[in-house]
Amino acid sequence: MLSTVSAASSKEQLSIPEVKISRSIRSATDSSGLQLTLYQYQSCPFCCKVRAYLDYHGFSYDVIEVNSVTQAEIRWSKYRKVPILVCRDQDNRTLVQLNDSSLIVSLLSSYLLNRSESVTKLQSYYPAIETKNSRGKTVFEFPNKYFMMHGETGSVTDDRKEERHWRQWTDGVLVHALSPNIYRTPAESLQAFHHFSDAGDWQNTFGTPKRLFIIYVGAAAMYFVGRILKKRHNLKDDVRESLYDACREWSVAVHNAGGKFLGGDRPNLADLAVYGVLSSIDGCNAFEDVKQHTDIARWFFAVKKCVAANAGQPMASSDRLALPAV
């Protein structure tokens, strides 16, 4: 049975407990008026995608690192996947829970296009469809998550259609090649988790016993998960080749676009999505191999520089889209 549910809730309805903030990102260029808290795994490709977007556009936000084994920090939420972005709207009272990385990016982009629309109102344009999968587990789908929303009319440009195509490709193709590669062998799985521990500052966030538990239990579990995902997503026997193929496909798309990025002179949402997902494995053996066997490195580090510099600017009115027909 399908049902449509809203992800917007007040703090009282959500009953969000006080949780230690892992770190705070503050940007002098943030004029959004929003207070954002990101619940994440440091190494999750979808979380990395959201952070790339937030950093590129110069948002200030707090980060709460979620224990990937116990998920204690998000037990308050019916939606149990990360990233979750909790946003205090412009009235400084209403809390809105935003789920799904692509929805978060689209909604915040809609907000930057038209700040007269509140986040609460924009969130209503992204209803969640709740259903049960074949194993009886509750899953949520967000049909509009690749669209930007606002009240003006206009045409959807070919550039926007291409951007949306590659954002969907990132979630539907590229991301599935990551886990089987970084967890390809027990040694690579352990190396990846040690890297994630360092990148996420797990020592200070969780302490030594929990950190070691996450590293060794997580590495062992994900080695077997990686093998399952390899079969599920029909990757090649040498999973590295599937990852190389995806990166080469993207590189060809950027080259054919004729600019430094798919978006031209500056990264668009597709550039940020691909970069964010790949940044999740930057530092792992798999990404070192990608840099050696494909030509994606120049593009990757160009986007990385833009993200680090908070290079995103408010979108011009000419970039605005019409509300999509769904």
Considering the domain architecture, whether residues 236 and 274 belong to the same structural domain is answered as: yes
What pLDDT sits at residue 313? 61
CATH number of residue 94's parent domain: 3.40.30.10
Q: Which domain holds residue 275?
A: 175-308
The mean pLDDT of 252-264, rounded to a whole number, is 96
Give 165 or 318, the one with higher predicted confidence: 165
Considering the domain architecture, whether residues 183 and 277 belong to the same structural domain is answered as: yes
The mean pLDDT of 110-122, rounded to a whole number, is 91
Q: What is the pTM of this model?
A: 0.87
Q: Peptide bond preceding 143: is omega within 30 degrees of 0, i.e. cis?
A: no
For residue 314, give the DSSP letter: P
What pLDDT sits at residue 28? 87
Of the candidates 49, 21, 62, 66, the one whose C-alpha atom is nearest the C-alpha of residue 196 is 66
| pLDDT score of 17 more than 90 | no
| pLDDT score of 51 more than 80 | yes
CATH number of residue 284's parent domain: 1.20.1050.10
> What would the two tokens of residue 151 be?
């009240």
Mean pLDDT, all residues of the chain: 87
Catalytic residue positions? 41, 44, 46-47
Distance CA 271, CA 261 (A): 7
What pLDDT sits at residue 99? 96
What pLDDT sits at residue 1? 37
Contact criterion met (CB below 8 Å) for 241 and 169: no
Number of folded domains in the chain?
A: 2
Helix (H, G, I), strand (E, B) or coil at 326: coil
What pLDDT sits at residue 69? 79
**What torsion do the CA atoms of 236, 242, 245, 246 make, to the nearest 10 degrees?**
140
| pLDDT score of 20 more than 90 | no
Considering the domain architecture, whether residues 141 and 229 belong to the same structural domain is answered as: no
Distance CA 140, CA 127 (A): 10
Considering the domain architecture, whether residues 183 and 69 belong to the same structural domain is answered as: no
The mean pLDDT of 168-181, rounded to a whole number, is 97
**Cβ contacts of 253 within 8 Å, gap of 6 or more:** 166, 262
Considering the domain architecture, whether residues 97 and 12 belong to the same structural domain is answered as: yes
Q: How confident is the model at residue 156 (pLDDT cuts 50, 70, 90)?
A: low
Contact criterion met (CB below 8 Å) for 263 and 270: yes
Considering the domain architecture, whether residues 121 and 181 belong to the same structural domain is answered as: no
Q: How confident is the model at residue 64 (pLDDT cuts 50, 70, 90)?
A: very high
Considering the domain architecture, whether residues 104 and 210 belong to the same structural domain is answered as: no
What pLDDT sits at residue 138? 80
In a domain, 167, yes or no: no
